[in-house]
Amino acid sequence: MAKKPAPSGPEEIQGVNMSQFSIARFYGGIKYNGQGYTYFPENGGTLIRDDVLKARAKETKKPVKPKPKGPMCSENGLLGFTNEEIESLTQPKG
């Protein structure tokens, strides 16, 4: 299996508000050297490469708690029904 080539171009481009990259302010990002960059307005404007953003988001992602199965609510929460009443309404009759 062939390895994917390493991305070319810088991970971040800073101070873009007063440069040729300032067009990114109006579109939310640009493509440069074949890589997508997302614009962040802080500190004079920063462009961050999309694959770097994805990796940073993956690093900081918190584990997701599983959602309870079935309709649950606090007592008399959902339209005034209790959990038991909702469960009895959703059970198949037979």
> Per-domain residue ranges for the chain?
9-61, 64-94
In terms of Cβ atoms closer than 10 Å to its own Cβ (0-12, 13-18, 19+), residue 16 is buried
Indicate whether this model's pTM tops 0.75. Answer: no
Q: Provide long-range contacts, Cβ within 8 A and 24+ apart, for 55-63.
A: none
Who has greater pLDDT, 21 or 2?
A: 21
Q: What percent of the chain has pLDDT over 90?
A: 14
CA angle 73, 75, 91 (to 5 degrees): 55
Beta strands in 1-94 (DSSP E): 12-14, 29-32, 35-40, 46-49
Predicted confidence (pLDDT) per residue in 24-70, tens digit:
888 888 998 889 999 988 888 999 999 988 888 888 876 656 555 55
